[in-house]
Structure 1
Amino acid sequence: MTTVHRPEAPARPEGNARPTSRSEEYEHTPVPASARRSLLSVAATWFGFPMNLGSAVFGGVIVYNLGLPQGLLAILVGNLVLFSYVGALSHQAGSTGKNFALLTADTFGSRGRNLPAGLLATVVIGWFSFQVGLTGTTLSGALGWSALAGAAVGGVLYTLLTMAGIRALSLIGMIAMPLFLVLTVVALAYGLDAHTSLADTFGYRGAGTALGFGGAVAIVIAGFADSGTMTADFTRWSKDGRSAVLATLTAFPFANFLANAAGGLIVAVGGTANPATDGGGFLNLLTGHSTLLTAFAVLFVFVNLGSVASHCLYNGAVGWSALTPVRMRSLTLVLGAVGVAFALSGVWGYFLNWLNLLGVFVPPIGAVLITDRLLRARMGNRPAGTYRATALASWAAGAAAAAITHYTLPELVDPVVGIITAAGVYAVAETVMRRRPTAPHPDTAPPA
C-alpha cells in the first residue's frame, strides 16, 4: 500500500498576528523583522519632513532677531539637542518595532499612556489643520488664488497621501528635499540680485530685539517637539536601533539645519518684506518671473506643505488607532476631514501660539521614556501596571519646570529645562521606590 504524503499547510500566525503585508501599518503590534524597511526608506521619511517653509520661517525669525552668525549658531545648537532627544527615542523604536503609543504603555502603564499618547495624537491634528490652512493662504498671497479652494484641494490630497501609509511618506520625502534645495538656491539668487550683496548678507546683524539666544534655541526645538517625540511612528520601521538613529541624523541636524538656515539667509538678503512675522518664507521670490518657475512654485507648495501635513496626520491616525480598535486608514479619513473642516473655518489661524506652547510641555514625555529605558537596562524590568504614578508625576514636574522657565526666564532653553527636570525626577523616584525593602513599588499590583 502506497502512502500519500500531503503538503503541510502553512503555519498560522500566532494569536491575532497577521501575515506580513505591504499595506499593514502595525498599529497595535510591533513591526516584525520581515516588514522592516531599508535605511534609505526610513531616512527619506524623516529628512523630507523638516524641508518645509515652516522651518524656513522659524529660521528667518531667529536670524532677524540675532543676526546671521549668532542665529546660525542658535539653529545648530537647537538641532543638536533635537538629534540627541529624537535619536534616543528612535533607537528605542528601532530596537523594539513599537510605535509611540505602544512605547508609552511600557512606561506610563496600559491606561496611563492614554494621556500622553492621546494628547500628542490630538496636537498633531492641529498641526495638520494649520498646514492645510497655510496652503490656501500661501497660494492666495503669492498667486491670488482662492484661499478656501487651495486649502480644500490641499486637504483632500494630503489625506489621500496619508492613507497610502509609510511608503507614501518616504516617497514624498524623496521629492520634497531636492525640490526644496533647488528652489531655495533660485530664491536666494533672485534675492541677492534684487536686494543686497553677498558680503552684506554674511554681515547681517539683525534687529537686536528681545529674543535671546536661549529663546532662539527653544524655537528650533519646539518646531519638532511633537512629531519628534512621536518619532517611533516612523523609525519603528528601521532594521534596528542603529539604523533608526542614522535615519534621524539625516533630519537633525542636517535637513532641519539646512531648512532653518535657508530661511535665515533669505532674511539676510532682504528677501521678505516682514521678516519679524513672515521669517524666511521665500515663495514670493519664485513668482512673477516665468510660467515654468511659477508652476514649480505651485508644485513646491503642495509637495512642501503636503509632506508636513501628511506626517502629522499619520502621527495622529497611528496614535489614535493604537488607543482604539479602529484601523489607521479609517481614522485617517475621519481625522483628515476634521482637520480640513477646521482649516476651512479659519480657526487654524489661532492654532500657532498654543501649538508652540504645547511644545514646551511635550519634551518631558520623551525624557521619561528615555530615562525609563536606561533604568530598565541597569536595574532590570518592572511590571508596567495600569497607571505608573512615577512616570506621570515626572512628566508633570518637567512640564511645570518648562512652563515656569518659559514665562520667567526666557534667556534659558525651556524645553531643555523640562527634559532635565523630568528625567531627574523620574530617576530619583524610581531608584527610591525600587530600594524600599518594606513596601512594593506603587505600580506593582498585589497578587490575587
Structure 2
Amino acid sequence: MTQTATPADTATSEFEHEPVPLSHRKSLFTVSAVWFGFPMILTNAVPGGLVVAMLGFWPGVGAILTANAIMFVYVSLLSWRAGRTGKSFALQATETFGTAGYAIASGFLATVVVGWFAFNTGATGASLSGAFGWNETLVAALAGLVFIVVTYLGIRALSVLGAIAAPLFIAAVIIAISLAAQSHNFSAVFGYKGVGGGAMSFGVAVTAIMATFADSGTMTADFTRWARTGKQAVAATFTAFPVASLVAQLSGALFVAAGAIADPAANGGNFAPLLTGTHNVLLDIFLFAFVVINLGSVCTHCLYNGALGWSHLTRSKIRVLTLILGVIGTLVAVLGAWHYFVNWLVLLGVLVPPLGAVLIADQIILAKRNAGRPEQRVRWTALAAWAIGAGAALVTHFFTPVLSDAVVGLVVGTVAYLVLEQFAYAKETTR
C-alpha cells in the first residue's frame, strides 16, 4: 500500500511514495538549478581531461560532444515522462518492472549512487588535505555531516546549492586559467596530440564521459518530477546535458591540452592543484569554499537519489534514509574504502543505460499500447531486456573496446525489450 502525504505535511513533503501533485511543482528556475549545478563539478572535469589526454584535443572534444548529445536525448526522454507524471524513478520503475520487480532496478541504482556519495565525500577530504595539509579523515567526516544536513533539507536545498556551485565553478576555471597562463601556452591547445598513443578508442572515450552521470542521469525523474510540465523538465535537463556538463568537461580538456596538468593520463582534468601554493589568503578561502560546495553538490544529489530510492523500497521517509545512508557513506569515506571501488562504480555504470533504455521503450515508445495496462508483480520482459542489454554492454567492455559499451547497452536493451514485448503481445492476442 502506498503512503500519501497529509495536508499538514505536504508543504515539506518530498513525495517519496506518490507523484508530486501539480500544486507542489517548482518553477523552471528551481528545477534547472538542481540539475545545472550537478554536472558542473570538478570530478566531471576529470574525464574530460582524460579523454583529451588519451586521444588528443580534437578527437577528445569529439568524444565529449558525442557523449553529451547522447546523454541529452537519453536523460531528456526520461525527464519528459517525469514532468508529465510527477513520478520518481522508483515509481517509473514500478510501472515497467512490476510492483516487486522494480526493487531490483531501483535497489541497484539507489545503492550505486550512495557509493558515489562516499567516493566524493572521501575526495573532499583528500582534496582539502592535499591543499592545506589538514587531517584527511577528520575533514571527510565533517564534510559528510554537512552534506547529510543539506540533503536532509530536501529539493529546495539542492536547488540553492546548485545555483551557488555552478557560478563558483566558472570562477574557479577563470582563476585557474589566469594562474596557469603565467607558465603555460594556451594558444597551443588546438594542436595537442595527447599522450595516449592509441591506448584509448573513441568508443571507450564516449563511455568514459557517459559513465560519470549514467546513474543519476537514469534517475533524473527524482529531480525533474518537480517540473510543471514535460517541456519544462526537458528544458531543465538541457541546462545539465549538454550545457553544464560541457563546461566542466571542456574545462578539464583545456587545462590538459595546455600542459597545465601533471600526469594527465592519471589525473585527467583535475585543475584544483593549480589553485594551491599561491600563499594568497583570499585564494585559499576561495579554494576551500570551491571544493566543499562543488563536491558537496554531487554528494547531496547522489545521496538524495539514494535516499529517495531506498525510502520507497522500505516504505519509509526520505529524511530517515538520508541519515542512515549518509552515515554509512560517510563511514566508508572516513575508512578510506572509497579509494578502492571507483573502478567498480564505473563498471556498474555500464549496466545502467540498458535499464534506462527499457524504461524509455516501455513508457514512451510503447506508451499508447500500454495505456491502462494492469499492474503486474514482476514484468519478466523488462528484466530480461535489461539483462540482455547489460550483457551486451559487458561483452563489449571486455572484448570489443573499440565500441562504446554504454551505447551498445542502450541500443541492445531497447531492441531486446521491443522484440520481447512483441512476442508477448502476439502470444497474448492469439489466446
Quick check: TM above 0.5?
yes
Structure 2: stretches of 5+ with no match in the other structure? none
- Work out the CA distance in 1 between the residues paired with 2:380 and 2:423: 13
Q: Which amino acid aligns with 1:52?
A: I
Instruction: State the shift of 1:435 in Å.
Output: 2.0
1:419 maps to which of 389, 397, 410: 410
Check the 8 A contact 1:45/1:173 in 2, yes or no. yes
Question: How much does 1:253 deviate?
Answer: 0.7
One of 3, 13, 38 as aligned partner of 1:24? 13
Displacement of 1:201 after TM fit? Answer: 2.1
Match of 2:382 among 374, 391, 394: 391
Distance 1:425 1:439 in 2: 21
Q: TM-score, normalised by structure 2?
A: 0.96
For the 8 Å contact 1:108–1:384, the answer to whether it is kept is: no
1:185 matched to which residue of 2? 174
**Paired residues for 1:19-58 under 5 Å:** 19=7, 21-58=10-47
Cross-structure match for 1:107: 96
Aligned to 1:270: 259
What's the offset of the Cα at 1:17?
A: 4.2
**2:397 is the counterpart of 1:406:** yes
The letter for the 2-side match of 1:35 is H
Q: Distance in 1 between matches of 2:5 and 2:330?
A: 34
Unpaired runs of 5+ residues, structure 1, are 1-13, 441-448
Letter in 2 for 1:48: G
Do structure 1's residue 303 and structure 2's residue 293 form an aligned pair? Answer: yes
Q: Which amino acid aligns with 2:186?
A: L
Tell me the distance in 2 between the aligned counterparts of 1:142 and 1:232.
Answer: 36
Give deviations 1:28-59, integer Å, cap 9, x for gaps.
00000000001110011001001111111111
Please tell me whether residue 71 in structure 1 is matched to residue 60 in structure 2: yes
Please state if 1:246 is matched with 2:235: yes
1:154 is matched with which residue?
A: 143
Q: Which moved more, 1:276-285 or 1:102-111?
A: 276-285
CA-CA distance at 1:438 after TM superposition: 6.3
What is the distance in 2 between the residues matched to 1:317 and 1:76? Answer: 32
1-structure distance, mates of 2:286, 2:164: 13
Aligned residue pairs, count: 426
| Mapped partners of 1:106, 1:403: distance in 2 | 26
1:136-285 residue pairs with structure 2 within 5 A? 136-195=125-184, 197-209=185-197, 210-285=199-274
Amino acid at match of 1:431: Q
Please list the CA deviations of residues 103-135 of structure 1 after superposition, one character each: whole Å capped at 9, or x if unmatched: 000000000000000000011110000011001
Larger radius of gyration: 1
Give the AA of the match of 1:398: G
SS in 2 for 1:154: helix
* d(CA) in 1 for partners of 2:415, 2:166: 37
Aligned partners of 1:52 and 1:259 also within 8 Å: yes
For the 8 Å contact 2:4–2:15, the answer to whether it is kept is no
Counterpart residue type for residue 303 of structure 1: I
- Contact in 2 for aligned 1:107/1:384 (Cα 8 Å): no
Question: 1:16–1:165: structure 2 CA closer, same or farther, 3 Å change rule?
Answer: closer
Please give the per-residue CA displacement for 1:59-105, whole angstroms capped at 9, x wherever unaligned.
Answer: 11111111111111110110010001001000111110000001000
Looking at structure 2, the residues matched to 117 and 410 of structure 1 have their Cα atoms a distance apart, in angstroms, of 28
Instruction: Output the aligned Cα RMSD.
Output: 1.4
Query: Equivalent pairs: percent with the same residue?
Result: 50
Q: 1:355 aligns with which of 321, 327, 345?
A: 345
Judge conservation of contact 1:188–1:269 (CA < 8 Å) in 2: no
Q: Distance in 2 between matches of 1:128 and 1:184?
A: 24
Q: Among 335, 345, 352, which residue is 1:345 paired with?
A: 335
Q: Partner residue of 1:371?
A: 361
| CA distance in 2 between partners of 1:163 and 1:407 (Å) | 40
Q: Tell me by how many angstroms 1:387 deviates.
A: 0.2
Counterpart-to-counterpart distance in 2, 1:325 and 1:208: 49
Distance 1:15 1:227 in 2: 25
Is this contact kept in 2: 1:94–1:235, CA < 8 A?
yes
